[in-house]
Structure 1
Amino acid sequence: MRHAARWIEALALGVALLISGCATLGGPAQSEAPADWQARQQALGAIASFGLEGRVSARGPVSGSANLLWNQRDADYSLRLSGPFGAGAVLIEGTQEQATIRHKDQTLVTRDPEATLRSQLGWTLPVDKLRWWILGLPAPNAPAQTQFDAQARLRNLTQAGWTVNYEEYRTAPALAPVFDLPRRLSLTQGELSVRVLVDQWEPGT
């Protein structure tokens, strides 16, 4: 009987986590960091490597959508965008110091991938900051304005000229012990709006 009761409690907790993790955010945002934010921030910051599959869409000077494959290993990253967005596949590989952008027959080496993407392709991603934002964290060593939901998760973030809105979280057992990570988020800067949808989180390889 005691074993059955524990099993029921565990099942109920799992269902609650699933529901809270996959539901769109509701209720008012709060500017003051909740008590649980520090622990969550430390757990997220400890994720040095991850992989994800998802989709990206953009509206602005250039509009379109693309499939996204992202692999992060410590400071090294690889982002592959394939589809109509950017009129062909784009591969961005780099570190915090330098990035290589491959598109069609072009190979560009830059210390500012955000500006290079904008000037060469007409759209951009904040590559150096997105590594943190995609986990639900402000990028370190840069001022940021933040708002939180009732579960101590980022709701809104303004940093480096971008505004990030977190629209939905989902459970991500592949990156335990952090069980809920962003699923849908939107990034805006001026006329450019970029939406990211994460279909699947994976451990880094």
Structure 2
Amino acid sequence: MLRPLLIALALSTVAGCATTPSGPVSSATVAPYRDEVALAGRIGVNYSHDGKKESLTVSFNWQQTSTTTDVTLTLPTGQTAAVINVTPASATLTESGKPPQRAPDLDTLTRKALGWTLPVSGLREWLQGYATDRDGKRFVASPANDTVITRDGWKLDYVSWQDDQAAVPQPKRIDATRIVLGEAVDDVNIRVVIFPSEK
């Protein structure tokens, strides 16, 4: 089942970057990066496969600690499509009704499952409004500073915020487009919508 697998791998690959932001953040109105995060939302992926444009959408539950990331992907029917577990030692993808696939890391897992590596990293940071720009500098998103091209070639647009008037706004929607030599390419486009946290 390529479609749930593709989105599972998109999420698992971006989940693999577990680095804590380097260097201080200059603005006092920016939420500090958190190693421990629990989020829920929806992710949509547009991609090309065998010359045809495809798209799919799943809901996700995201749990991360300083060393692990666990993601559960749910289809619109309510069925669990895949469960992803990432640790410093391994990456595991379990699709419904199939034996788990394991690899030492996410790049190996994506190559094993798809035959090619999905070139995404950093969602652990993106979901919190952080990224590393193409010059290797720390980017912190805000309603006034909402676009960046990352070091690994993704253009991130922070389209909307949970509350853009809040003292510390949190991302609500993030659009990610693959960039090659300054131009958008249509192999993979990702839209992430983060649901408001339950208080």
TM-score range, shorter chain: 0.5 to 0.7
Match of 2:170, SS? Answer: strand
Match of 2:85, SS? Answer: strand
Equivalenced residue count is 159
Q: Return the structure number with greater relative CO, CA threshold 8 A, min gap 6.
A: 1
| Map of 1:19 onto structure 2 | none
Amino acid at match of 1:38: S
Q: 2:130, 2:140 within 8 Å by CA — same for their partners in 1?
A: no
Shift of 1:63: 1.6
For residues 67 and 118 of structure 1, do their structure 2 counterparts lie closer, same or farther at Cα, with a shift above 3 Å needed? farther
- Identify the range of structure 1 (92-101 vs 71-80) with the bigger mean alpha-carbon deviation: 92-101
Which sections of structure 2, spanning at least 5 residues, go unmatched? 1-23, 49-53, 179-184
Match of 2:130, SS? Answer: coil
Is 1:138 the counterpart of 2:131? The answer is yes
What's the TM-score once normalised by structure 1's chain length? 0.61
| Map of 2:160 onto structure 1 | 168
For residues 63 and 130 of structure 1, do their structure 2 counterparts lie closer, same or farther at Cα, with a shift above 3 Å needed? same
Is 1:194 the counterpart of 2:187? The answer is no
For residues 150 and 90 of structure 1, do their structure 2 counterparts lie closer, same or farther at Cα, with a shift above 3 Å needed? closer
What's the TM-score once normalised by structure 2's chain length? 0.63
Shift of 1:137: 0.7
Q: Distance in 2 between matches of 1:134 and 1:37?
A: 16
Q: Distance in 1 between matches of 2:37 and 2:138?
A: 25
For residues 160 and 178 of structure 1, do their structure 2 counterparts lie closer, same or farther at Cα, with a shift above 3 Å needed? farther
> How well do the aligned residues superpose, as a CA RMSD in angstroms?
3.8
Amino acid at match of 1:69: N
Is 1:65 the counterpart of 2:57? The answer is yes
How much identity, in percent, do the aligned residues show? Answer: 20
| Map of 1:54 onto structure 2 | 41
In terms of fraction of residues, the more helix-rich structure is: 1
Q: Distance in 2 between matches of 1:135 and 1:76?
A: 16
Is 1:180 the counterpart of 2:169? The answer is yes
Match of 2:64, SS? Answer: strand
Whose radius of gyration is greater, 1 or 2? 1
Which sections of structure 1, spanning at least 5 residues, go unmatched? 1-35
Q: For each residue in 1:164-201, what CA deviation from the matched residue of structure 2 results, as whole angstroms up to 9, or x when unmatched?
A: 111111149xxxx9732110001122421010000133
Q: For each residue in 1:46-77, what CA deviation from the matched residue of structure 2 results, as whole angstroms up to 9, or x when unmatched?
A: x1211111001111124210011101122211
For residues 183 and 96 of structure 1, do their structure 2 counterparts lie closer, same or farther at Cα, with a shift above 3 Å needed? farther
Match of 2:124, SS? Answer: helix
Is 1:75 the counterpart of 2:64? The answer is no
Is 1:155 the counterpart of 2:142? The answer is no
